[in-house]
Structure 1
Amino acid sequence: MITGTLVWYHAICPRQAWLMAHQMEPEREFELLAEGRLNQQEHYERSMKELSLPGMRLDRVRREGGRIIVSEVKKSTRYLPAARLQLGYYLLRLREEGVEASGEILVPKERFREGVELTQELEESVRDVLGELEGLLERSLPPPAARIPYCRKCAYAEFCWS
């Protein structure tokens, strides 16, 4: 099953998405994974309204002036393009279920907030990624490892470079 997290991983590294989709666990004690979980709790604990739906785990959902706002909390703006796709996936899935919503990306440590709407362009990008992911997940082997700027902080590095 394709999830928002897989959409996010695919935008960063298709190999990482394949490994995750095939239940390959990243290094459990990897400090950046734990830091990301704590980041969300630390900064938005009082206002958190996490919601889990099939293929989606929405970090924060709230109503604002009659509109539903879905928030994705990230540790850094470094992965903004991936976060936009992930949030676009959530907004598309919600629309398909008859729920119109807006989105926002929150990066508390950088005091960053960006509104995200499901525009035609974003929807097309999300659908392209979904098509690529479907093909990727059908493969029996992951894509070959390729060094990218994100490798040095990746919890899956042992799968690629050991």
Structure 2
Amino acid sequence: METRTIGGIHLHYFVLCKRKLWLYEHGITMEQEDDRVLEGKVLHQRAYPQIKKREILIDNAFKVDMIDGGYIREVKISSKMPEVDKMQMLFYLYQLEQRGIKKKGLISYTTERKTVGIELNKENRKLIKNAITRTKEIIEQDQPPILKKYPYCKSCAYFSFCYSMEDDDEC
């Protein structure tokens, strides 16, 4: 089987929902018309206008929102899922470290006027290495992981896809 390129979105989905990760990687994308995704794109365009290095593609492998001096900055709408955001940032920091670049991370929740710092320490390095391995294992499966119901499913772009065969009362 070919070696797949893993990006930050894969690690984001790995923490959020393994099924969504598998579906996304296998070409079933539902985000194009999702209001929340569109809201995030507008937020990225407007946040931190003084920072000129934005949407930077690194080695055709992954893209970071912004480089702000010694920091990689990710802009998020809400801090409701901090572990998801942390894993994505750790992925970027780890990938940069593998390329000989040391940076720290800032996750900015601009609508909340809140910023969280992230560093790639020994514990976080172990966490991200394991997550990358598990992510690859999930996307290489022949079938998507079974449906798990999360409190945030109804706001997911994949909701109608995942729950099309479910009874509405159970969702």
Task: Report the TM-score, using the length of structure 2 for normalisation.
Answer: 0.88
Residue of structure 2 aligned with 1:104, choices 98, 103, 106? 106
SS of corresponding position for 1:9: helix
Aligned residues: 158
Matches within 5 A, 1:46-125: 46-50=50-54, 51-53=56-58, 54-63=60-69, 68-125=70-127
Q: Deviations over 1:49-91 (max 9, x none)?
A: 221113321101021xxxx210111110012111111111111
Q: Deviations over 1:120-161 (max 9, x none)?
A: 111111111111111101111110111101201100112210
- Structure 2 alignment gaps of length 5 or more: 165-171
Per mean C-alpha deviation after superposition, the further-off stretch among 113-122 and 44-53 is 44-53
Is 1:25 the equivalent of 2:5? no
Task: Name the CA distance, whole Å, in 1 between partners of 2:50 and 2:144.
Answer: 40
Give the CA deviation at 1:5: 0.8
Task: Name the CA distance, whole Å, in 1 between partners of 2:38 and 2:84.
Answer: 19
Task: Name the CA distance, whole Å, in 1 between partners of 2:24 and 2:81.
Answer: 18
What percentage of aligned pairs have identical amino acids? 28
SS of corresponding position for 1:71: strand
- Structure 1 alignment gaps of length 5 or more: none
Residue of structure 1 aligned with 2:156, choices 154, 157, 160? 154
Residue type at the aligned position of 2:6: I
Q: Larger C-alpha radius of gyration, 1 or 2? A: 2
Residue type at the aligned position of 2:154: R
